[in-house]
Amino acid sequence: MRYEATICLRLKKVNMMEMNQQNMNQNNIEQAVNLLKSGELVAFPTETVYGLGADASNSAAVRKIFEAKNRPADHPVILHIYDQSQLDKWVESVPDIAYKLMQHFWPGALTLIFKARKTVSGLITGNQDTIGLRMPSNPIARELLKQFGGAIAAPSANRFGKISPTKASHVWEELGDKVKLIIDGGDCSLGIESTIIDVTKIPPVLLRPGPLDVDLIKQISGVGVIDKGKDKNNNSDKDMPRVSGSLASHYAPKTPVKLFTFDELDCFAPQEDAALAMTKGVMSFRNKPTNLRDKIIWVKMSGDAVLYAHELYAVLRELDSKNLEIIYIELPPDEIIWQAIRDRLQRAAG
Ligand code: TXA
Ligand code: MG
């Protein structure tokens, strides 16, 4: 399926299910490349979440990203590249640790923060001296980057502060009137945003936990990695780059979210007056207890962290659309494999 907004912003949804998948993507990619080259925004799938892309070397185009997302101008955007030879245009220097990480994790869900070249627009860096780059592995993203030839600046394709999109329909709901083309690549395989490592620091700093195994990152880089998240309330490090994903309220649905642990199930005791009670949502690892009233929408989540990440944002969005009083989410265990998910849940709970 393809979602398209025409030049005059008359929106139309084109069902191309009958078309051969390969042709469809090829047509979309050609169209996307032309739009990017003419300074327009294009949303595209990556293996993490959908991105809202613009030609990184066109400041007017990059500015449109901020307008569409309603994103504050001082929040930097990451660049997406097809191969490592493109680094030179944007990056001042590439430390050895970065080569090791790139060799192992690129293409993939790893964003690296480098020292930026002086020539890079402050729109991209958020007026800092660093720049984030990643090489996505999603085949559609790769084909788009290959045919486009340059770097594509792309934050997640959601309004600022909202949940990242993992389906083309999510982008359509939020930014359908702001973007010329949405390439539908189906569900994002990983479902949460990339791991961000700042390699300008020694040892490197984990700015945002993501789909990658942090222990493996430490092993590959050969040094420890400082976990910025463990130091969340410490604002004393003025050198720390700003990461909008690190704001406490980021990734939040409009419905209040409350986290609960395994022993707190009694918060779901049936209401005294069920007729007055508003419907609540629950995301839990367990089945719905039999003594609960129907006013609870209960979603049983996967106990596998990879599958959980894959479905997390779609489930949150679905519950958020139901005008619930509150969404209760059972917190996964405090284990490294759940780190990124716990991070996103804690932010969703604000
Ligand atoms: O998986 C992803 O990273 C997705 C897909 C589309 O690639 N992109 C994404 O972009 O999540 P965004 O903008 O929603 O999140 C990127 C984060 C932001 O929090 C931004 O502040 C941070 O990366 N960032 C970008 N450039 C940075 C820099 N130079 N220093 C520190 N943080 C930076
Ligand atoms: Mg984002």
Each residue's pLDDT tens digit in the chain (350 positions)?
444 332 222 222 333 333 344 444 667 999 999 999 999 999 999 999 999 999 999 999 999 999 999 999 889 999 999 999 999 999 999 999 999 999 999 999 999 999 999 999 999 999 999 999 999 999 999 999 999 999 999 999 999 989 999 999 999 999 999 999 999 999 999 999 999 999 999 899 999 999 999 999 999 988 888 887 665 444 334 444 455 455 555 678 999 999 998 777 665 655 555 555 668 899 999 988 877 766 789 999 999 999 999 999 999 999 999 999 999 999 999 999 999 999 999 999 98
What residues have CB less than 8 Å from 312, skipping those under 6 apart?
A: 191, 192, 301, 341, 344
User: Is the C-beta atom of 107 inside 6 A of ligand 1?
Assistant: no
Instruction: Please report the atom of ligand 1 found closest to the CA of residue 130.
Output: 29
> Which pairing describes strands 51-55 and 42-44: parallel, antiparallel, or unpaired?
antiparallel
Instruction: Please report the atom of ligand 1 found closest to the CA of residue 80.
Output: 7
Q: Whose CA is nearest to atom 6 of ligand 1?
A: 51
Centre of ligand 1 from the C-alpha of residue 133, in Å:
9
Looking at residue 293, its pLDDT comes to 64
Query: Cα separations (Å) of 63 from 56, 59, 96?
Result: 10, 6, 33
Q: Whose CA is nearest to atom 31 of ligand 1?
A: 241
Centre of ligand 2 from the C-alpha of residue 261, in Å:
27
Instruction: Please report the atom of ligand 1 found closest to the CA of residue 111.
Output: 3
Query: How many other CB atoms are found less than 10 A from the CB of residue 71?
Result: 18
Query: How many other CB atoms are found less than 10 A from the CB of residue 305?
Result: 19
DSSP 277: P
Contact (CB, 8 A) for 213 and 225 = no
User: Is the C-beta atom of 332 inside 6 A of ligand 1?
Assistant: no
The token pair that represents 330 in the structure block: 């059972």
User: Is the C-beta atom of 78 inside 6 A of ligand 1?
Assistant: yes
Distance CA 222, CA 240 (A): 22
Looking at residue 109, its pLDDT comes to 98
DSSP 156: B
